[in-house]
Structure formats: structure tokens, C-alpha cells
Structure 1
């Protein structure tokens, strides 16, 4: 009934919340779909704009290639071309195109023809000489060599007079480009380059086309080299080539970057490096440029987060809130009306019943008061007796639980002792019996040579049996806590035990800086230290054994650790080594009863602590155990 009443009371809230959640989900779905449609439309529009920009730039590059092809065809169709003819023909390009810096004719001049060539050109150009540019862009007469590739004609000439006669083969990179164009018979594009004008450094590129004497492309490499007449060359201004494209990109909201993917030194042709949104490869003769377009923050915001989406979300939230409030108010009004009607009916019935019962109960109240006083007195006495009985039962229960735990521990120890009696104690006895029978047989056969060896083996098994019995006696006493508690210098105690166990001076001992000075211990603490040090010494596989003690403090206990540089322990044996009579090596190889770590575990557990090991083969071992801080004599 209470659950139904609680649900009925909160019904308006639930209906309001349900209305809000459903309407919000519908609004969110609608807004998300609207946003996706707008973003998709915006992205398609952006992609179309980027493709238009890339196509515009590619067309500009194609026009540049066509200009060089046209000039190449002009030279292929004419045997000899004078400077006026060259000027008249190239003026057609220069009048309409502002990104062409110069158009040039570079003939091949052999050394034997150099002097005649310079004299001939002096008739057209005053004091024409074949020269080269030095590292600091100074001009000097070119030294003698097999072939020269000087700039013979250049248009426009005004402002470029110093470039006449400049031998392009004096520069290794330019020579390699010329030779590549010659050998492939194809137009070749250079990376960013400058001939003389320092202020335009690294803002131009060259297109070079080979011209052969026959006007046709020779079929073999040898013929191409032999019949080379020269080259037509166009120098193009990168900034002028892409200015109109860049203006269009900026107007559309893009930052433009142009890279030369084949450049060895300076790949950036225009703009600055950004994280590009769109990449386009632009093809030039023998070279690929990459156009990177990055959306501006304003364009990115407008494309990926349209304002209409946020307005739709806001309106959806307002509508959802109004629907939720309406549902809550309507449900609450209906519910309150019903409850008022029910309450009115109940109040009328209760008033009638109440008046009849008041008189009846007033008469019996006096009688029950007397009986109540008597019952209170009896109840108080019974409660005191019950509390005393419950206290006695609690004490008896605690004693029974303690004795039950002690009995379980004793039963477990009895089982372990039984196992020892049936296995580990019988083994040495069987060995002694067998060796004794061999001694008797040797005496009867009068063969006395092996008797000393048999007697030595008998003594060894008797010693092992004695160690087993001593360790069993120690194990049985663990947990009684009958030893006296005393405060000792723990470092001195450990050093004394180490001196007694160390086999030689090559064994060393050290302590960490935070090791405690004095703590409360019993004789069983020394038993733990003795067994751990004995274990490290017994299993040492190196000439120089080092043992290091460390200690950390918790609220109620110390955590001691002993680390050695011994052979280490395989992790799969971590549980086994703490069991009774368990050794990882045969007992005839390692002296011991297999009880040391079992004794340590039982002592530590009896004081409420834990013992465990960290190790790996070949890396030494570290044993940890807890010892209580607040240890006192009983």
C-alpha cells in the first residue's frame, strides 16, 4: 500500500519527466538530422569551391606550358631566328600575361665557336660576352670549357641586360636540368630558382624545352646530345601566377599554401604551413606541386556548426520544458481533485466513529492505566534479567568460537604431523634399515671395504632425522606466544645472526637508511631472521654473497625485507616453498629439513602478519614479512 501511495504521489513528476525526455529526444533527433543535412550541403559547397580553385591554378600552369610549347614550335619551324623576330613573337605572350618574368633563347655554343659567337652577337648587343655568376651574384668572364649555354635572347630586355651572355651551365643544378631536358626531349620544370635579381630570390621557376637542329625529336640518346641546338626557356613569377587564385581563395574563406613535392631544398612556394583540410596535386612538366587549402576559423564554424542547429536545439529545449510543465500541472490538478473527494468522504465517516468510541475508551482508559503500571514494573525486572542472560551468552559464544578455532588449528597440525610420520620420518628410517642390512651382509661375507661408507650414510640419515624432530618440536610450539617480550637493537641482533651463519668474509650485509633502531621482539623474531639468513647462505650460487635488509612502517606493524643476490626462485614455486618439508633441490645436495620457511610462515601468521617472496630466476630473491609494533608481555 505504501509503495502504491508513493508512486501515486509522484505520478505528476514522472509524467512531467517522461514528457520532457521524449520531447527532448525528438528535438535532439530533429536538430541532429537538420545539422547533418546542413553540414553535408556546406561541405559539398566547400569541396566545389576548392576544386574550382585547384582547377583555376592548374589551368594557369597549363597555359604556361602551352606558352613554352608554342615558343618551342616556333623555333622548330624556323632554322634561324633573329632577335627582332624573337622579340616580335614573344611580345604576344608578354602583353597579356603578367606572371611571365622573361622568355629566353639559350643556344648551345661549343668552345671552338665561342669567339665567333661573341663577335656575331656584339653586332646586336653591345659588348656581348659569355659570363658566369659568382656565389655573391657578381658577373665575371666564364672560363674555358667544352660547351656553353649562354642567354642569347631575352624578352623583355629592359632591366635584364646584365643577364645577356649568362652561362646557365656554370651552375651545377641548372646544368643538370638542361641535360635532363636534352636527354629526355621533354619540357622540364625547375624548383624555385633565381638567376641574378636578389630581391626575387626563390620566387621564380623555370620551364625549359630543348630545340634540335632537325626540328624533330631524335630517336636515340646519342643523337639528342649530338643534334642539340639549344633551349627555349620561360622564367615565371610564382606570386603573379597564383595571385588571382589566392584572392579567390581568401574571398571564399581559405588559406592557401603551395608546395613543391619534388624540391630538394625549399619546398614551400607560397603561403605558410597549416594543417590542410583539402589537398590537390598540380602537374607540371617533370614536377608535382601540391595545393593545400585550409578553412578559416569563420568558414569552419559556419560549415561544421551552423547557427540554425543551435537555434533548433534551443527551441526544442523550450518546447520540451513547456510540455513537461503542462503534463505535470495537468496530472497534479487531476490527482489533487480526486484526493480531495476521497478525503472528504473519509473525514465524515471518521468523525461519526470517533464520537462513539471516545466515550467507550474514556471509561476503559482508567482501568488500563492501573494494569499498565503493574506491567511496566514487571517488564523492567524482566529486562534486567534478560540483559544479564544475554551478556553471559555472548561471553560463552566468544569462548566457544575461540576454542573452535583453536581446535581447528590443532586438527590441522595433527594432520600435518601425521603426514610427516607417514612420509618424511619413515624415509630416513627405511634408509637406515636398508644400510644396516647391507652392513650385516658385508660382515657375513667378510667384505669390510664398504662398511665405513654405509656407516657414514647411516649417521647422515640419523642427523637428518634428528633435524626433522627438532624442527617439528619448534613448529609445534609456534603460536603459543609464551616467550618474553623484550626491546632489542634490531640491527645488532641481525648482525650477530649473520656472523654465526656467514660461511666466509666474502659474505656481506647492509641495511637501508630508514631501518629502525629498537623494537619489541620475542625469541621467535630471531628464529625468523636466522632461517632467512640461513636460507640465503645455504642456496648462494656466487662467491660473493650480499644480503640487504630494509624496513618500512605502517600504522600497527613493520614490514621487513631481506634481499640477496642468489640464484632466485621460479614464480611457480612461490606457494610450494612455504609448505612443510618442501625443498626445491634434493636433500642430498642441500642440507636442511625443508621446515625453515614453513616455521617462518607459522610464526608470522600467529602474530597476525603475512610472509611472501618476490623473485625471478637468476635475479636473486626478496622475502617480506610483517612484525607487530605494539607487542607486550601478557
Structure 2
């Protein structure tokens, strides 16, 4: 009996030991999880190193692109200042033959690739026009100014070499067009080199984007100290016309770059590799690895460089090391897990064998049945758990496959419209958030009065809005004392509203100022469609627009923001009633 009990005890202990061996121990799981963590960590570190090297390469090459453009523009500037020095050395005036000899000595096509020519523009007072034309027609009988304009002075292109491809520019009076005239005035006023906003050169039959580069020269060969003296002593400018895509061809060889470059001046595009490069040179990446946007000050203008990597860049930085590390690590982890499972199954077979040895004992048989049932439940659990774990992995795999397939095809037009609508509404939301933030910050700022001239302020606003050639703004020139930053926001919003809601692409805005008993009244009138009297209150509320939201680009915060700004300074804003044409906004600003 004692021997039987000892045998049962022995078999019970053996069974307990084998039972523990049929399950994976916590130590096994720790080893597997640590192995997976090490694999993922090694993959992540390797992937980040590859990404960092790629980022450094992109940053280096994109910076080189920008520096090359700046360096080449500096070279062109030096050539123009050389022309100024040549004119000064000749007493401030050169003949057609003199300039031809100087330009020929520069060997423009070889030394200055990308430049269309180099020339001289004189500043001609109307009283000197006849004598100037007579002087020029000695060498060129057909010399004439064109086109006609209403400016109080003339800035004709007098010389340009080589003249053949630039013949249409000879005699062109650059005062006829706002961008040309504005830049030449900046050059005269500052005494520095300036470039124009984007224009189409008259000698460019395809009317591609370009610009003019000016360097001023004055009487006696020196730049006067004051602005009034510069106006009086200006003689003219040396200038160079540029077609942007030719300039970029001369600076950057597309075949030697792994980057796509786009350059814009404010909202106007100057150059785009995708548009200007030959089809065989375009190697656009649908999903670029890197993008960079940088604004660069360029002789009185701000050029925005948008640079992205192309397919050749992706190929040059491709590195399979992270993928090898991840794949190899996961294979090792799987083998390790399979080895542990194999050991567990071996122990389970050993337990079955032990159960067969105790078949003669009833109690051991009962325990064997329960153990077999437990093992069956464990196997079922293992199967279910395995199936449930595989299902998400299969789903992820399918999703990745779908994404890969979608990226290879062009999106349908309907999806493009949806994306465009989403972008538009996101932009409106960003604008709304910005205006809300500005609206909320009004009560937390301090402002101080300073003298300003309304005419200068409105001219700057129209220039920034890009409508100075389409909208006329009549403004008094008397100086006023008012917080400049606040009043700039007020006028900018009111002028912008008048332009956005105007029924035509050109119009007139009149700003009047009157001194009252306790402050100053401002009247901002436009000749637009106007606002009905019954909608005046609605127009001054937040988030209100008088047109459907998809037909107006504003956030509906403009007048509400202006109203709160004015009220914060103790004034008020109202809309004049009873008008049949246009809108008149009345502002009262109290004396401090």
C-alpha cells in the first residue's frame, strides 16, 4: 500500500512537472519580446541614420541651388555697375557707338549666360524730350518712344546690346507699366540695384515670366545724400532684361540636379522646372522625400524658392540596410518563438506518455482525462489567439497593397474636386483661426500714436494687395497722429473688403478725413455694389458674409475685427445709410 502511494505521489509530481512544461514560461515570453524590441530598435536607428544622411544631402544641395542663384545675380549686378562706371568715366553721357563698344567688350553670351542684354535707360524731363530725340536720331533716324502714358516723366530704353534680338525694346518707355516704373523709382530713390516684379518682356514672343534689373547713376558720378537730391540729380539707369527660364538655364543645369525648383514672386510664378524643363529632363517624384520653402530677399523683391527632391534623388539615397535588419531580426525572432513552442509540444508528448503509465490507477485516469481536456482547451485557445492575431496583420497587408495600387494611378476628377474643396475650406479655416486670434488679442495690446501720412499708407496697402494698377485711391496728404499698426489693420481690412466685394476688377476708393470736436472722422467710400441698409447690422457681426461662403475668400471677420479695434480705442464704426451706389464706412477716432 505504501508502495502504491509512493508510486501515485511520484506520478503526480512527474505530471505536475510535465504540465508546466506544456506552457510557455514567462521567461520565454520575455526573451521573445526583448528580441523583438532589439530588432525594432536596430531597424529604427538604422532607418533614422539613413534618413538623416538623406536630409543632410537635400539641405546641402538645395542651399547650393539658392546660393548659385544669389551668386549669379551678384555677377549680373557687378556687370551693371561696371556700365555705370563706364558712363561716369565718359562724363555721364555715352553715345550709341560708345555703348556698343563697351557691351561688345563684355562678351555677354560667354561671360554672362542667361542675360538677354545690357542697356541704358535715361530719365527724360518732358521739356528735354525734343532735344533728346533729336540727339538720338543722329545715329538712328527711326528712334522713337513708345507707348504713350500719363506719367510726368520719360524713362526710354535708349541703348540695348545685342540690339538684334532686343530691337522691340529700343525706345520702350518703361514708365508706361507699373512694375517697371515702380522698380526704377526704387532704384533712383535708394541708389541701389533693384529688380522689377514679374513682367513679360516685349522682345519675348512667348510672353514667359521675366524681370528687369536696374542700377542707377547720377550727375557727377556720386550718389546724392538726400532723397530730394537723388530725384534732382538722377541721369538714368543701366539695366538688363531677363527671361526667367533662360536665366535658370544659364545658372542651373537640370541634368546635373536631383532637385526640382520652383521660384515665385509673391503669388506670381517666375520659374518651374516641371513647366520649363524639357520632357525628357523631368523626373518628378509623386511623393517627394523632402521639400523646402525659403524666402530670399532679391534686390527689393522677395523670391520664394520651393524645392523638392526628384526620383533620381530617391534612387541615390535608397538604402536597403534598415529593411535587411528588420527582416533578418523578425526571422530570428520567429525561429526563437518556434523553438520554444517545439519544446512545449515535446513536453506535452512526454506528459501523454506518463499518463499511459498510470492507466491502471482510477484516480490517475480521471486526472489524465482532465489533463487531456485542459490540453485540448489550451490548443483551442492557441489556435483562436493565433487566428485573431493574424487577422489584423492580413488587414494591414491588404491596406498597404491598396495604398500602393492607388499611388500608381491618377486620382479621378471627382476626387480632385473633393481635395480642392477640402484645401479651400482648410485655408478658410486657417484664415478664420488667424482672425479669431487677432480678434482675441486686441484687448491685451498697448498702442501709441505716431505721425503717418494716409496717402503713403494706402499706397503701400494697394501695392501689397497687388491692385495698384486696377484701383484708384484718393487720399488726403495731410499728416495725422494715430497708432500706425492699428490704423494699418483698419485701412487694410476696409480697402481689402472694398476690392473683394467689388462687382468689377477695377474701381475707385475715396478716403476723407475731417476733424471733429472730440476726435477725427474718417470716411472710406467705394463705387462697388454697396450693402443694403437692412443688412448693415449683419455685416458688422462676426462670421458674416453677404455672399455664399464658397464665393468669397474672406472669413467674415474683417468688419467685426475693425469695429472691435476702433471701439477698443474709444471710437466707433458705422455704415452710411441711404446710399444708392457703393458703400461708405464712417469711423470716429477720439483724441487721446
Decide whether aligned partners of structure 1 residues 13 and 143 sit closer, same or farther in structure 2, where only a CA change above 3 A counts. Answer: closer
In the other structure, the counterpart of 1:78 is 90
In the other structure, the counterpart of 1:88 is 101
In the other structure, the counterpart of 1:501 is none
Post-superposition offset of 1:6: 9.2
Decide whether aligned partners of structure 1 residues 7 and 83 sit closer, same or farther in structure 2, where only a CA change above 3 A counts. Answer: farther
Post-superposition offset of 1:112: 3.1
Among 24, 30, 35, the alignment partner of 1:23 is 35
Among 328, 333, 338, the alignment partner of 1:325 is 338
Among 48, 60, 68, the alignment partner of 1:36 is 48
In the other structure, the counterpart of 1:270 is 272
Determine if the alignment matches structure 1 residue 168 to structure 2 residue 183: no
Decide whether aligned partners of structure 1 residues 338 and 311 sit closer, same or farther in structure 2, where only a CA change above 3 A counts. Answer: same
Decide whether aligned partners of structure 1 residues 257 and 311 sit closer, same or farther in structure 2, where only a CA change above 3 A counts. Answer: same
In the other structure, the counterpart of 1:296 is 310
Post-superposition offset of 1:222: 2.1
In 1, the alpha carbon distance for the partners of 2:185 and 2:21 equals 95
In the other structure, the counterpart of 1:242 is 248
Determine if contact 1:103/1:155 at 8 Å carries over to the other structure.
Answer: yes
The one-character-per-residue Cα deviations of 1:198-220 (angstroms, maximum 9, x if unpaired) are 52424221111211111001112
In 2, the alpha carbon distance for the partners of 1:61 and 1:332 equals 77
Decide whether aligned partners of structure 1 residues 93 and 66 sit closer, same or farther in structure 2, where only a CA change above 3 A counts. Answer: farther
In the other structure, the counterpart of 1:286 is 300
Q: How does 1:208-247 map to 2 (within 5 A)?
A: 208-243=214-249, 246-247=252-253
Determine if the alignment matches structure 1 residue 315 to structure 2 residue 328: yes
Among 135, 138, 141, the alignment partner of 1:126 is 141
In 2, the alpha carbon distance for the partners of 1:144 and 1:288 equals 29
Determine if contact 1:194/1:204 at 8 Å carries over to the other structure.
Answer: yes
Determine if contact 2:259/2:310 at 8 Å carries over to the other structure.
Answer: yes
Determine if contact 1:15/1:328 at 8 Å carries over to the other structure.
Answer: no
In the other structure, the counterpart of 1:260 is 265
Determine if the alignment matches structure 1 residue 109 to structure 2 residue 124: yes
In the other structure, the counterpart of 1:620 is none
In 2, the alpha carbon distance for the partners of 1:344 and 1:281 equals 83
SS at match of 1:123: coil
> Which region of structure 1 is more displaced relative to structure 2, 208-217 or 155-164?
155-164
Determine if the alignment matches structure 1 residue 191 to structure 2 residue 197: yes
Determine if contact 2:18/2:347 at 8 Å carries over to the other structure.
Answer: no
Among 109, 113, 117, the alignment partner of 1:98 is 113
Determine if the alignment matches structure 1 residue 54 to structure 2 residue 54: no
Determine if contact 2:261/2:273 at 8 Å carries over to the other structure.
Answer: yes
Post-superposition offset of 1:311: 2.3
Q: How does 1:447-526 map to 2 (within 5 A)?
A: none
The one-character-per-residue Cα deviations of 1:559-587 (angstroms, maximum 9, x if unpaired) are xxxxxxxxxxxxxxxxxxxxxxxxxxxxx
In 1, the alpha carbon distance for the partners of 2:113 and 2:250 equals 11
Structure 2 unaligned segments of length 5 or more: list them.
Answer: 1-11, 276-285, 366-592
Determine if contact 1:282/1:288 at 8 Å carries over to the other structure.
Answer: yes
User: RMSD of aligned C-alpha atoms?
Assistant: 3.5
Determine if contact 2:114/2:251 at 8 Å carries over to the other structure.
Answer: no
Decide whether aligned partners of structure 1 residues 54 and 309 sit closer, same or farther in structure 2, where only a CA change above 3 A counts. Answer: same
In the other structure, the counterpart of 1:157 is 163
Instruction: Compute the TM-score of the two structures, normalised by the length of structure 1.
Output: 0.47
In 1, the alpha carbon distance for the partners of 2:35 and 2:67 equals 48
Post-superposition offset of 1:299: 4.3
In 1, the alpha carbon distance for the partners of 2:314 and 2:19 equals 50
Instruction: Compute the TM-score of the two structures, normalised by the length of structure 2.
Output: 0.51
Determine if the alignment matches structure 1 residue 206 to structure 2 residue 225: no
The one-character-per-residue Cα deviations of 1:301-348 (angstroms, maximum 9, x if unpaired) are 876x843222222111111111222233245436645774x557646x
Structure 1 or 2, whichever has the larger Rg, is: 1
Determine if contact 2:151/2:175 at 8 Å carries over to the other structure.
Answer: no
Decide whether aligned partners of structure 1 residues 7 and 64 sit closer, same or farther in structure 2, where only a CA change above 3 A counts. Answer: farther
Determine if contact 1:253/1:299 at 8 Å carries over to the other structure.
Answer: yes
Post-superposition offset of 1:31: 1.2
SS at match of 1:54: helix
Decide whether aligned partners of structure 1 residues 161 and 350 sit closer, same or farther in structure 2, where only a CA change above 3 A counts. Answer: closer
Among 57, 67, 77, the alignment partner of 1:65 is 77
In 1, the alpha carbon distance for the partners of 2:295 and 2:75 equals 17
Aligned residues: 337
Determine if contact 2:18/2:348 at 8 Å carries over to the other structure.
Answer: no
